[in-house]
Amino acid sequence: MRAYLAIKFHEDYRNKRLIEEILDALDKSGFETTTIVRDYEKWGKIRFKPKELMDLAFKLIRESDFLIIEFSEKGIGLGIEAGYAYSMNIPIIILAKKGSDISETMKGIAKELIFYEKPEELEQKLKEIQI
């Protein structure tokens, strides 16, 4: 199962460890993952212009069986990616830390919503969902 991970990332890569832990949990759960920051930007070694970045994201979403969004921290790009995946009938799985505010709109388009305290919990939780 191919999955594109959408997650808000920061210019200083302060959430790099979180991204790696989530990708590891996804891989252990049977997903073949791709994400722009790791696989295409190589953690800041390569930069894309905004249009190039969105075109690449849309291409990767179209090539995926699932869009997985880590939505503990909101971002406009995440909403755009979610809307695009939904319009393409690509199932969306939302991951968020417990206590995160997930909009009703986002809940409405998600196939699954998984809350977690630590990324290590995600492997088991992902294996439990019906996909």
Question: Cβ(63)–Cβ(2) under 8 Å?
Answer: yes
Question: Cβ(120)–Cβ(20) under 8 Å?
Answer: no
Please list the pLDDT of the chain residue by residue as tens digits (131 residues): 999 999 998 888 899 999 999 999 999 999 999 999 999 999 999 999 999 999 999 999 999 999 999 999 999 999 999 999 999 999 999 999 999 999 999 999 999 999 999 999 999 999 888 66
Q: What angle, 0 to 180 degrees and rounded to 10, lies between the N-to-C axes of helices 50-62 and 76-87?
A: 40
Q: How many domains is the chain partitioned into structurally?
A: 1
Predicted confidence at residue 16, as pLDDT, reads 95
Q: H-helix or E-strand containing 41?
A: none
Predicted confidence at residue 34, as pLDDT, reads 97
Predicted confidence at residue 131, as pLDDT, reads 66
- Which structural domain range is residue 22 located in? 2-128
Q: Which CATH number belongs to the domain containing residue 19 in this structure?
A: 3.40.50.450
d(CA 76, CA 21) in angstroms, rounded, equals 23
Predicted confidence at residue 9, as pLDDT, reads 86
Amino acid at 102: I
Beta bridge partners of 115: 96
